[in-house]
Amino acid sequence: MKKIFVCIATGGALVSVPALAQDTASPFTGPRVEAIVGYDKTRAGSSVDTDAAVGNKQSMDGVLYGVGAGYDVDLGSVVLGAEAEVTDSTAKQSFGAGDFEGFGSGNIKTNRDLYVGARAGVKVAPTTLLYAKAGYTNGRFGAYSSDGEVAYREKFDADGYRVGAGVEQAVGRNTFAKLEYRYSNYSKGEIDFGDDLPDSQRFDVDLDRHQVVASVGMRF
């Protein structure tokens, strides 16, 4: 009879160990996926307005949306992680006939944007993380222009860097919400001629991009 009680007690202790570990597990560790939405604004990087048309906007803004994934490791008070995103945007801008300044095209719109980078954060509460991030971004833009007779439609890709900061709040055991600001600068570009022709040689560009986004996601 004593052996039976010992076995039951031992089994109960073994079951309680993983249960305790699960209860005390960090909400900021392991793989994660998230949905992203927010405000997106892109403009020429120069602070000098060279556009003769006073009412002509040299920026475009819209709604950003997409998905992200990452992996974080909780080292105690500090959290380190790697992450990636695929997003798109509704931002676009049209220029008047004969006015091809600003972005150097009659019309321009944003397309997909790719990002990969890393982040580092500090826990300011058991379920609240403040973090900074940095990485590589590649944005695609669609350009259209016409002289009234011939229309040109091209896509060009731009490479650059992204930095940002935000706050993540754990909600429940496996879900979280984030609010984040990030700035991107694109400094190199190339024209994408499609599948039949190779891309153009890389050329210098200067585009600034500001985004304020919110995310909701899950950890596994």
What is the structure's pLDDT at 24? 57
Phi-psi bin for 204: left (phi > 0), alpha (psi -120 to 50), beta?
Answer: beta
Tell me, what amino acid is at 153? R
Asked if 72 contacts 81 with a C-beta cutoff of 8 angstroms, the reply is yes
Note the pLDDT of residue 196.
63
Measured distance between the N- and C-terminal CA atoms of the chain, rounded to whole angstroms? 42
Could you list the beta-strand ranges (E) of the chain: 30-44, 59-74, 78-89, 92-94, 107-125, 128-146, 151-171, 175-192, 203-219
Confidence at residue 26, expressed as pLDDT on a 0 to 100 scale: 87
What pLDDT, on the 0 to 100 scale, is given for residue 86? Answer: 98
* pLDDT surpasses 90 at 194: no
Query: From CA 112, how far away is CA 142, in angstroms rounded?
Result: 10
Compute the distance between CA of residue 193 and CA of residue 187 in angstroms, rounded to an integer.
20
Place 177 in a pLDDT band, splitting at 50, 70 and 90: very high
Strand pairing partners for 191? 156
Q: Give the range with max mean pLDDT: 53-62, 66-75, 108-117, 150-159.
A: 66-75
CA angle, 70 then 79 then 19, to 5°: 85
- Tell me the CA distances in angstroms from 201 to 42, 82, 173, one per residue in order: 23, 31, 49
Give yes or no for residue 113 having a pLDDT over 60: yes
DSSP state of 1: -
pLDDT confidence of residue 38? 98
Token pair 């992203």 in the structure block, residue: 36
Reply yes or no on whether the pLDDT at 124 is more than 70.
yes
Residues 90 and 110: their CA atoms lie apart, in Å, by 7
pLDDT of residue 161: 97
Q: Which of 25-34, 73-82, 143-152 has the lowest mean pLDDT?
A: 143-152
What domains are there in the chain, each with its CATH number?
Answer: 29-219 (2.40.160.20)
- The values of phi and psi at residue 101, to 5°, are -85, -165
Amino acid at site 27: P
Secondary structure (3-state) at 21: helix
Share above pLDDT 90 across residues of the chain, in percent, rounded to a whole number: 53
69-80 pLDDT per residue, tens: 999 999 998 999
Q: What is the average per-residue pLDDT within 100-113?
A: 67
| Residue 202: strand, helix, or coil | coil
Range of lowest pLDDT (45-54, 159-168, 206-215): 45-54
Query: Does the structure show a pLDDT above 50 at 17?
Result: no
What integer best gives the mean pLDDT of the chain? 80
